Amino acid sequence: MNRELEGEKGRPFHRWRGGTAQGVEEDRIDEILELIWTLREKGVSDLERLLESAQDAEARSILNLMIKDGLFDVEDNRVILKERGEEKAREIIRRHRLSERLFTEVFEMSDEEAEEEACKYEHILSPAVTESVCSFLGHPPTCPHGKPIPRGKCCAKFEKGMKPLVIPLDDLGLGIEGRIVFIVPKSHHRLDRLTTLGVVPGSVIRLHQKNPSYVLQIGETTLALDKEIVKDIYVRRV
C-alpha cells in the first residue's frame, strides 16, 4: 500500500503536479532507483537502510515523489519496486554496468575512472546505443566486478551485424592471441580448476587446436581443455 514518508517535522512533502516530479532532476531519481536495485542484490530492502545509504539530503522528499509516480511501494517498511520502477531501475543498472565494461575493456581505464564515467553515461545512453554497446562487447553477462548485467533484447537475438569486441574462446582463430576478459563457469569447482591452471581474466591465451580436444597456450604452459569448459571463457583479440 502506498504511503507518504514523513518529513523531519512529521509533515508529508508535497511537490507534485500533473503526475510528474516538479523540480526534481531525473538523474537524482535514477540514482535512488539504482541504489534500491543494488541494495536488493545484497538482500536489503529496508527503507531506513535506503535512506542511510542515499547520498542526497533530499532523499526522503524525492522518495515521496517516486511513490506518487508509481515507481515503488513501501510495505512493512520494505521498499518494493513496482513494474515501472523495476523496468526503469533495470535499464539504469544495465547502462551503468555496460559502460563500466566498455571503459575498462576498450579504453583500459582504471576501476575508479571507469566507475566515474559510468555514473555519467548511465543517464544519457539511448536504448539503441545501449544495445550497440552490448553487441560490440559480445553481450557480457557481468560487469568488471562480477555483478550481473541485466539482459537486453539484443542478447536474446545475439545480433551479428556488429563484430563483437569480446568473443567466446571457441570463436578465436587458431594461432590468434586473445586476452581473457571474463569467465562464466557452470560451477565454482570448474572456476577453481581454471584458476589453478592460470586461466584467469587478464591472461593472454593462444588457441592451437580445436579437435579432437582444445589445445591452448598460456605463457609457457600448454593445456588441453574440454569443449564445455572452453565455452565458459570469453576473450578479446590482442
- The CATH number that applies at residue 76 is 1.10.10
Taking only the tens place, the pLDDT of each residue in 72-83 is: 999 999 999 999
Residue 170 and residue 153 in one domain: no
Q: Please tell me whether residues 36 and 67 are part of one structural domain.
A: yes
Mean of the per-residue pLDDT values of the chain: 84
Residue at a domain's end among 112, 134, 157: 157
The number of CA neighbours under 13 Å toward the Cβ of 222 is 5
Is residue 126, in this structure, part of any structural domain at all? yes
Residue 152 placed within a domain: yes
Q: What is the pLDDT of residues 119-158, one digit of tens each?
A: 999 998 999 999 989 988 889 899 999 999 999 988 876 5
Least confident interval from 1-5, 14-18, 170-174: 14-18
Of 35, 57, 81, which residue sits at a domain end? Answer: 81
Q: Which of 16-30, 34-48, 193-207 has the lowest mean pLDDT?
A: 16-30
Task: Judge if 170 and 197 occupy the same domain.
Answer: yes
| pTM of this prediction exceeds 0.75 | no
Exposed, middle or buried by CB within 10 Å (0-12, 13-18, 19+), for 196? exposed
Residue 2, domain member (yes or no): no
Could you list the residue range(s) of the whole structural domain that residue 64 is in? Answer: 16-81
CA 166 vs CA 45, 106, 135: distances in Å: 35, 10, 9
* 74 contact partners, CB below 8 Å, separation of at least 6: 2, 3, 5, 47, 67, 80
- Domain co-membership, 71 together with 22: yes
How many structural domains are present in the chain? 3
Q: Which segment of 2-6, 34-38, 45-49, 154-158 scores lowest on mean pLDDT?
A: 2-6
Residues 97 and 140 occupy one common structural domain:
yes
Q: Is residue 33 part of a domain?
A: yes
Helices 26-41/59-68 angle, 10° precision: 90
Question: Looking at the predicted structure, is the pLDDT value of residue 196 above 90?
Answer: no
> The domain spanning residue 102 has which CATH number?
1.10.60.10
What is the CATH classification number for the domain harbouring 225? Answer: 2.30.30.90
